[in-house]
Amino acid sequence: MTLLGAVLASADTFEARLRFGRFVGMVSSEENTYFLRAFQALGVTKDRRAADPDTQPTAGFKAIMREAAETSSYAAALSVLVVAEWLYLDWASRAPKPLPNNFVHAEWITLHDNPDFRGFVDFLRAELDRVGPTHADLCRDFFRRAVALELSFFEAAYADRN
């Protein structure tokens, strides 16, 4: 939410602020409700969520989101958001059909593979393409680090399964 607040505050057009405002609303309502229901279904209590330590990649991604937000740079915040949201769309759009019976999986896929979300990711990419060239070094730095952290996150998740 901090990164989304920063991108909303630093957006350089009214139209972009409206788009981010709608997205903040969705993340803080529908998506948040989904995660709370998923945690309940999986038996992950609030105490456990608070007590379990972050993995190194998770801590790193939280740190880069805070760092991007603290720059007050629209371009920096976009660079991190594009990586995360585009990756979610890519994963969800490759999910086999029909969707799994378990709502935890099916609803995550639906949240990240629908026309509105696809349009939002297209918007993010277009915004980064628009403002990024003026801040190329900054964008490249945040984008590359975010990609490396996402890769580390998934590698760690799969390593725990072996």
Interval 87-136: pLDDT, tens: 999 999 999 999 999 999 999 999 999 999 999 999 999 999 999 999 99
From its phi and psi, is residue 57 left (phi > 0), alpha (psi between -120 and 50) or beta? alpha
CA angle 96–27–56, rounded 5-degree value: 75
Instruction: Give the count of domains, the chain.
Output: 1
Mean pLDDT of all residues belonging to the chain: 95
Output the domain CATH number for residue 25: 1.20.910.10
Is this structure's pTM higher than 0.85? yes
pLDDT at 155 exceeding the cut of 70: yes
- pLDDT level of residue 162 (50, 70, 90 thresholds): low
| Rounded-to-integer distance, Cα 117 and Cα 112, Å | 6
